[in-house]
Each structure stands twice: as structure tokens, then as C-alpha cells.
Chains A and B, each alone.
Chain A
């Protein structure tokens, strides 16, 4: 599986939105990193798509190092450890076709709600001016 496209149209500073996009991908999932018998890092999840996305983020330098019920730890490209506390988690289901997670970024204290889902559903949730972007795809 290969990630092919990541297109961003934003009014904010594009650098930030790219960073936010990758952080979102690194945080908003149900993947658990685990070490196998050989001591290699492996990602485990119910869906291979999720693993593929986390691996993609990993290849971009943002590594998922730890994950449990309460927290997610990421290592960013400059080697800093970013810790997120999970405050609420809405797992994926085939009815809602989306998943969501509310986290607190420990170093800045920001509360962020991330959501990932099928375009039909998420389309209605984004700000009105961005809807056309989703529709184009």
C-alpha cells in the first residue's frame, strides 16, 4: 500500500498546516506500536489502512513510539518527544464512517480534536468554505 496524495489548501501558513496534517495522521488512529521477538518495531491495528498511514507518517520522520489508553507519544524529525494525553476517543465504526480523538498537547497545553473519516461524512463537518475542496476529490 502506498500513500499517494496529500493536498492542502489553506489560508494559514502552509508550513504549519502540513505539520498539523502529519500530526493529525500520527495521533488520530488506533494503531499500537509493539516490539516483536526480533526487537523490531511493528504497528498493530485492526485495519491495514491505518497501519499504512502511520507508516507513511513514520517515513516522513514523525515516529509513533508509544501508545496506550491515556497517551500517545510521538518523536518529531528534530528528535523531540511530543506527548499527547488522550481525553476522549471515538473509535471507527461502519455506521459513523469516521473516528475522532480529543487530545491535550502536553508541552503547549492545547486541546485539539482530530477527526478522520470518509469524505461523504466529513464533508459536512468542515468549515463551509473548505467543502468544495473535499468535493473536488
Chain B
């Protein structure tokens, strides 16, 4: 009965008198005030004797479409896959093989019905964990989770195995394993499940994913993400997950940069003018800077893609590099801070230098340069420039131009001439071009 979920069916014909007598006992047990469940169970067991065996059923739980390829891509993407199931060991092993959880060159290692801590320790000490698929059942797992030391030893060992299979696992155990993995390995754990038994585990994990299945909606209601097919996981993690991380990182840092650069300008302005406490940009300019002038371009960063979906799905190792978390670190933060410092000071210092004779127009000059530089910075950050993004950048440029004409109170339009434009462009070039070129060269 390899891989089937088996049930034994049996019957017992009883006489009317027998039944009536039993029914009385059963009613009494149900009416008991103490230990009701145990009493009822005992009465039921009185009846469950000498049953007549009728037959055995086997139900095959077929795997969903594309499970193998999904697990295979996860393995290549550097994600470890553990399978936690309530099925018995034989069934679980069959599923593990057909789902491709165990690759051909790995062998199974069993921890079966072990109630003795030392026996587990012995298996752990055997080593060779790089190439085994660990199979452990609920009983042995209980033994492993008895003390913190044993827990640590076990999780440490199991997390080195390429694949782990936990059978006969209760919902609570599923949740405990998830929790310990988070604690001891400091890894991000995603739990995927489709049944009511998986709810605890889904809620315990960092990312809970529920599959809408035949067993109902409980899992997907408890989850952060709900999908209809296991195979959708591949796209969810490799494509959407990867992009989400990249975009969050780039958006967050760009927003920091956007705020910092205007503060740097203000600071340098105050320093240059003998530490006066005057805001360089007033009213609508300050308001407009973070809203109409830059918000659209900055948010186009979330539409940026660095490669095609097809490539990502075909080359899961592309995902692997993300796991080092290099896109959002102290180092990248410092890089962005220094960018802001450089550009902010260049804008103000060179304005003072070039427009020596017209301090009154410093607002128009620096603000124009600032907006143009920010638009170009967005352009630098975007990996794949498309029509939508061009439109947004262009539109923002136009909005800025119109506002120069409309807000005469802030900008001195009479002053704008050819030399003005050339000088502003020069400032922009000094502030933006070197950074842009450096980035492009590094990318090569």
C-alpha cells in the first residue's frame, strides 16, 4: 500500500437487547459530570471488540500540477524545503520522492520512534548531513524538543540537511518547528499549507502562504498570501518576492536621499550666509518638492524591473543573491547619504559661484537644478526604462516649468535667459553626471 492513505473498515452486528443495554451505559457516561470524555470513550471501547473486518481502503493523494519543478527551482534558488505532514512515514516518503524533495544522490536517514535522547544524539553525531534527506516522525520529534539543548542540537543538525521530512506531525509540532527555526537559525521562514492543520504553523512563520484547497479555506484565511495552486509559489517567490525586495530597497533609500538632499542644501545655504536662520525654500516650494515635483518619478521606481519574468523563473540562482540582503544595509545607506551630501553641496556651492552677482535669484537657480537632478537620479536608478517612466519624468518636468510661470511670487522669470539655462545645466552636470557614470561603469 505504498503511498496510499489507508483506512480499515469493520462492522459488528448487534442484537436489539445488546444495543439497549449499551445505550443506557452510553447515556450515563454522557451525563457524567466528571471525566465525561474519558467515560464516553471507555463505553465506546466496550463495543469495539471482536469487530468483523470488512476491508481496507486506500486513497491516493495526488500531487498538484508542477510540484516537482517548483521544489526544484526553490532548491536552486537556495531555499531549503522542509515537508511537515500528518501522514505516516511510508506515505510521506512516497510523496517526497514524487515531489522531488529528495534528489537522486541523496539518501534517507531515519529517526523513527526514538524516545531516548542519547539515541538521537548518536544519530546527530554520525554526521554526513550535507547529503541526506532526514526523515523524522512525531515521536522522535517530541524527544528532540524536550530540552532546549536538544532542540538546538536538532535544529542545528536538520537545518544543514538539504531536505527534511517530518511525518506523523501534529499541528502544534508544525508550529513549534517553525518557531524554533526562526529562533535558532535566524532565517526567514515561509510556511505553505492548505488545511486547517497548517493554520498554527502559518501564523507562526515570517511569511504565511495558504493554498485554497479541497480541504477548505482555513489556511488561506490565516495566511498573508493566498494562492490557488502550489505551483504558483514559484512565481510568487521568485518573481514577485524578488522584485518586491528590490523595489522596497530602492524606494526606501531614494526617499531618504530625497529628504536628505534638500536638508543639505538648507544647511550649506545657512553656512554660506553666516549661519542665518532663514529657510531657503518657502511655502509652496517646500510643499511641492515632496509632492508634485518628485513624488511621481520616485514612485515609478516600484514599476522598475531588472529582468524578465521568464529569466527569473528559468534561472532561480538569480534569487539566491538576494538572500545575502545586500541591497539594504548600512553600507548602502552610507552610499546614499554621501550621494545626497555631494549633490546638495554641489548645487548650492556652484550656484553661489556661478551666479555671484545675483544672490536674490538663488531660490530659482538651486530649486531648478534640484528638481532636474532628482529626475535624473530616478533615471539613473531605473534598470529598465520604458514609455510609462519617460512619460512621468517628462510630465513632472512640464509641471515644474508651468509652475515657474504661475508662481511669479517665488520665481523671478524676468531673470531667466540663455546664460541662466546654461549655468543651471552645468550645475546639474557636475552634480549628477559623475555619479551616473560611476554607477553605469560598476554595472558593466
Contact = CB atoms under 8 A, between A and B. Distances in A.
B276 interface: no
B19 A102 contact: yes
Interface residues of A, number: 50
A2 interface: yes
Nearest to B55: A21
A7 B7 contact: no
Interface in A1-22: 1-9, 17, 20-21
A28 B9 contact: yes
Given A47-B215, A53-B59, A5 B5 contact: no
A109 to B, nearest CB: 8
B53 A133 contact: yes
A47 B6 CA distance: 14
B167 to A, nearest CB: 13
A126 B10 contact: yes
B1 A5 contact: yes
Question: Which of A46, A87, A90, A126 has the largest number of chain B CB atoms within 10 A?
Answer: A126
Q: State the majority secondary structure of interface residues on A.
A: mixed
Question: Which of A48, A49, A109, A125 has the largest number of chain B CB atoms within 10 A?
Answer: A125
Contact of B60 (A1, A21, A112): A1
Given A8-B55, A96-B41, A20 B8 contact: no
A115 B19 contact: no
Contact of B54 (A3, A8, A123): A8
A90 B51 CA distance: 16
B442 interface: no
B1 A137 contact: yes
Interface in B13-42: 13-16, 18-19, 23, 26, 41
A4 to B, nearest CB: 5
B8 A117 contact: yes
A28 B8 CA distance: 11
A111 to B, nearest CB: 5
Contacts of B214: 48, 51
B57 A25 contact: yes
Contacts of B139: none
Question: Which of B4, B15, B216 has the largest number of chain A CB atoms within 10 A?
Answer: B4
Interface of A: 1-9, 17, 20-21, 24-25, 28, 46-49, 51-53, 56, 87-88, 90, 94, 96, 100, 102, 109-119, 122-123, 125-127, 130, 133-134, 137
Given A52-B59, A102-B47, 7 more contacts: A3-B59, A88-B23, A113-B13, A113-B47, A116-B9, A118-B7, A130-B52
3 interchain residue pairs of minimum CB distance:
A122-B8, A48-B214, A130-B53
13 contacts: A2-B59, A8-B54, A87-B19, A111-B13, A113-B12, A116-B8, A125-B49, A125-B50, A125-B51, A126-B8, A127-B52, A133-B53, A134-B56
Interface of B: 1, 4-16, 18-19, 23, 26, 41, 44, 47-62, 86, 170, 214-216
